[in-house]
Structure 1
Amino acid sequence: MAKELIFKSLRHEKTSDIPWVPFAGVHAGKIVGYTAEEVLTDEDKLVEAILAANKFYIPDGLPVLFDLQVEAEILGCDLLWAKNNPPSVKSHPLEGENKSIPCNCKIPTRESGRLPVILSAMRRIKAEIGSEVALYGLICGPFTLASHLRGSDIFMDMINDPAYVKDLVNFCSQVAVQMSEMYIEAGMDVIAVVDPLVSQVSPKHIERMLSEGFKAVFDYIRNQGAYSCFFVCGNATKQIEVMCQMGPDGISVDENVNLAKAKEITDRYNISIGGNIPLTTTMLHGTQEDNMKGVIDLLDSIADHHNLIISPGCDMPYDTPIENTVACAEAVKHPEKARQLIENYQVVVDDIHVELPDYASLDKVLIELFLLDPEQCAACTYMLAAVEDAYNDMKDIAEYRVYKYFIKEDIARTRKMGIANLPTMCINGEQKYISIIPNKQELIAEVKKYVK
């Protein structure tokens, strides 16, 4: 049975095959012709979309919903909705001087926000395919949820008021526990704690301010008899070990992380690891052969396939071609057949010509933001917000540009700049902040160093 592959992997048992989990998210809506907003707000459309994703992609595990703003909306954040992406947070009830906890924030109940729709959809999907497929309930991790409430101020708080950050994260961990309880009750087998911003924090800060809250969530999930997975985005290489120490059953990373090297760490803790098919260059813009080769190359880079789950690096882009995901599924489930199909195949890089600025002759300091997607990637959102928050104080001496890694020209520019990890902030062509979000004062001080 497909779901047993997931369970065995998360129990750290040997498996006959490698489990496959497509993070279809809002892309599931694309399969059946619905917008992201429709599948995230309409129960019937969500159920139809997830059942279609199950039919096309033959998964061993499947998320029911990939939306990290469900809790934020309940706790008072305003959302900006989009047709092709999950919503983004556009207001922060605890920003500025309003630091009280929980302020107007209340622990979610089964009647809060969109939860009645989500929980009912989960129960229906469980009844339809839950006997065969391991269902993932995705919740917003405590630190990312804290950043939704506090905004980019939280990065300055980590320096000036770490006790407040720890209290806020612990409150958000209570929210995560409550969400876990409701999702497990609705039939979810695996609770994925999705916290993109963990990659933006040093291991030392994680241990001081975040670990206690995260451990409480993973302990609760285990005590309820469910499995847990810790999702992180960005270059989390330095954070993998401290993530393991929080006690999840599995960890999932994106293409910024070398999966083989990360697995050496997770293996020491006997924790499963999942990932990390590239989302845009391969799944969105590649061919079927590119996707098969990507999976095979990934498998070949890892000597021991024990404790391994193959999946996209994060929530799949809405417009990902169905045939590309089918190709990934085939390569995971039938690797030897895939090897024959791609024998002698070479990936062709679409090398679009782009002109880089003449940084030495610029009138103003140029800040360039190389992002995955500022509307979908939380780490990218807050890196952009850091620049926007500081811009009024430096607009006379600096300007900024945003490049998005799902646009072909921006992918080519990223390659030409030699940028290996996203999000990255460059100043006058130099990579200054790689998967790290600077606070306002730090950024302004750094920009001033470049003024002629």
Structure 2
Amino acid sequence: MTGKELLFKCLHHETTPRRPWIPMAGVHAGFIKGYRADEVYLDVDKLVESLTEAHKLYEPDGLILLFDLQLEAEILGCTIKWEPDSPPSVRSHPLEKTDEMPSTKITKAAGRIPLVIETARRMKKLVGDTTALYGLFCGPYTLCSHLRGTNFFRDMRRNPDYVHKLMDYVTDIAIQMCDIYLDEWVDVIVPTDPVVSQISPDHFNTFVAGPYKKIFEHIRKRKGYSAFFVCGNVTHLLPHMCLTDPDCIAVDENVDIVAGQKVCDDHNVVLQGNVPLTTCMLLGNQQDNMKMGVDILDSIKSPKNFILAPGCDMPYSTPVENTIAVSYAVHNIDKARNMVANYEMSSFDIDIELPDYKNLKKPLLEAMLLDPTACAACTYMWAVAGDAKKHFGDRIDVVEYRYNTPENIARMKKVGVKQLPSLYLNGELKYSSIIPNLDDLIKQIEEVM
């Protein structure tokens, strides 16, 4: 049985001889070959070379073509900033100061879509017979926030009719992206919508559920498979996501994988996840990653409906040996289990001094983030914090801590951060995996002044 056949069997909700495995090696694939992130997503030869090497090293059952949620935003008028070690990030929002409805469509000749198509064609020839190809695109809700900026989160309260109209427009964009991938026989289509994790079930059902039902129905009619990927803590949304009828839901380390798998299994939806990106893959060692792979696989008791994968796009400079260790655990679970039977995973016990929150001279806003250049939910939480800083100026202090160094990991552990992104005011948690409404945040800051 090929890896592709194994994966399809899982997506058909059948028991498989082992768990399928998908390394989310986006720009990390370029790192393997020594290419910068901006090189690999602008040069089809370098991208194909990098993906081929990732395929050889990591023995995947499914392979993502690229993890870039700015493709559509760039075509629709957003300015993007290229980074050497992460995907590009959105830096301007064409609808920030207008509520006009755009009319641009995504065509096969637009922006970097030709690179996507050529990559799909070449990888189909190289590995497509044995490995399922995954086509990712920016989900509707996140694309709305790219177009509208932080105003979009005010719109849900102030102008819900406009939100519905904009969501209808970007849902059509999503279907255009689906068709581009499906025309190239890409196997699994993945709307990736990180900002969805920041909303309530009511807002999800009001603004998001309908568009996703339409997207997944379209993919199914065209004989493709679908995966709904939302990073962040979507525990409160999992049942609602299942009801939009995807074949698979992908989650990150914020979700308890055992509880999440039970919810998805009850709805007969495959769950994909959730090897920790920073503490394990980036900063851990080979044994940490093998043990994490074993522990996650052993924790899933259901014989079906589970795919092992990193929780999101792998950090660019993830050590190759760490990902190989996870792959080894998948392909050799009994041997790997014995190898790490008595191993204790690395910890981040660093002495961190916190501010004296009770005696601050002015309000302190602390943003606990994954990475505001690569994580859209973090981008917009940090943007709202920045809007608060613009409003108050020197009357408040605003700082960010990124979950990508041992010191910051230790700080968040000491503060008691449960999920990312989170926003603290004078040491008190105010927003946890919820992007604040600026008006509400301003009011809370004024109350402590």
Which of 101, 110, 115 in structure 2 is aligned with 1:112? 110
8 A Cα contact 1:9 1:272, kept in partner: yes
- Counterpart residue identity of residue 270, structure 2: S
1:95 aligns with 2:127: no
Shift of 1:107: 1.0
TM-score (norm 2): 0.98
Partner of 1:424: 422
Partner of 2:31: 30
Partner of 2:346: 348
**Structure 1 CA distance for aligned equivalents of residues 9 and 151 of structure 2:** 41
8 A Cα contact 2:367 2:385, kept in partner: no
Structure 1: gaps (5+ residues): none
Partner of 1:357: 355
Which of 392, 405, 416 in structure 1 is aligned with 2:390? 392
Residue 391 of structure 2 aligns to a residue whose secondary structure is coil
Task: Give deviations 1:78-131, integer Å, cap 9, x for gaps.
Answer: 0011000000000000112x11111xx511100000011110111011011000
- Counterpart residue identity of residue 49, structure 2: E
Partner of 1:151: 149
**Structure 2 CA distance for aligned equivalents of residues 395 and 414 of structure 1:** 26
Structure 2: gaps (5+ residues): none
Which of 184, 193, 196 in structure 1 is aligned with 2:194? 196
Residue 105 of structure 2 aligns to a residue whose secondary structure is coil
1:250 aligns with 2:248: yes
Partner of 2:51: 50
- Counterpart residue identity of residue 99, structure 1: D
**Structure 2 CA distance for aligned equivalents of residues 191 and 163 of structure 1:** 29
Partner of 1:232: 230
Say how many residue pairs are matched. 448
**Structure 1 CA distance for aligned equivalents of residues 387 and 101 of structure 2:** 23
Shift of 1:304: 1.2
Task: Give deviations 1:232-286, integer Å, cap 9, x for gaps.
Answer: 0111110111111111100000000001101111111100000000000000000
**Structure 1 CA distance for aligned equivalents of residues 236 and 395 of structure 2:** 34
8 A Cα contact 2:120 2:184, kept in partner: yes
8 A Cα contact 1:379 1:423, kept in partner: yes
Task: Give deviations 1:272-309, integer Å, cap 9, x for gaps.
Answer: 00000000000000011100111111122222141000
**Structure 1 CA distance for aligned equivalents of residues 78 and 445 of structure 2:** 31
Which of 307, 315, 318 in structure 2 is aligned with 1:317? 315
**Structure 1 CA distance for aligned equivalents of residues 112 and 133 of structure 2:** 19
Consecutive aligned runs of 4 or more in structure 1 exceeding 3 Å deviation:
none
8 A Cα contact 2:348 2:409, kept in partner: no
Partner of 2:293: 295
Residue 130 of structure 2 aligns to a residue whose secondary structure is coil
Partner of 2:436: 438
8 A Cα contact 2:239 2:264, kept in partner: yes
**Structure 1 CA distance for aligned equivalents of residues 194 and 117 of structure 2:** 24
**Structure 2 CA distance for aligned equivalents of residues 48 and 286 of structure 1:** 27
- Counterpart residue identity of residue 413, structure 2: R
Residue 193 of structure 1 aligns to a residue whose secondary structure is strand
Residue 276 of structure 1 aligns to a residue whose secondary structure is strand
Shift of 1:396: 4.1
Partner of 2:8: 7
1:337 aligns with 2:321: no
- Counterpart residue identity of residue 180, structure 2: M
8 A Cα contact 2:253 2:311, kept in partner: yes
Task: Give deviations 1:134-182, integer Å, cap 9, x for gaps.
Answer: 0000011000011100111010001111111111111111001011101
- Counterpart residue identity of residue 138, structure 1: L
**Structure 2 CA distance for aligned equivalents of residues 10 and 446 of structure 1:** 46
Partner of 2:181: 183
Partner of 1:61: 62
8 A Cα contact 1:170 1:212, kept in partner: no
Shift of 1:348: 2.7
8 A Cα contact 1:166 1:210, kept in partner: no
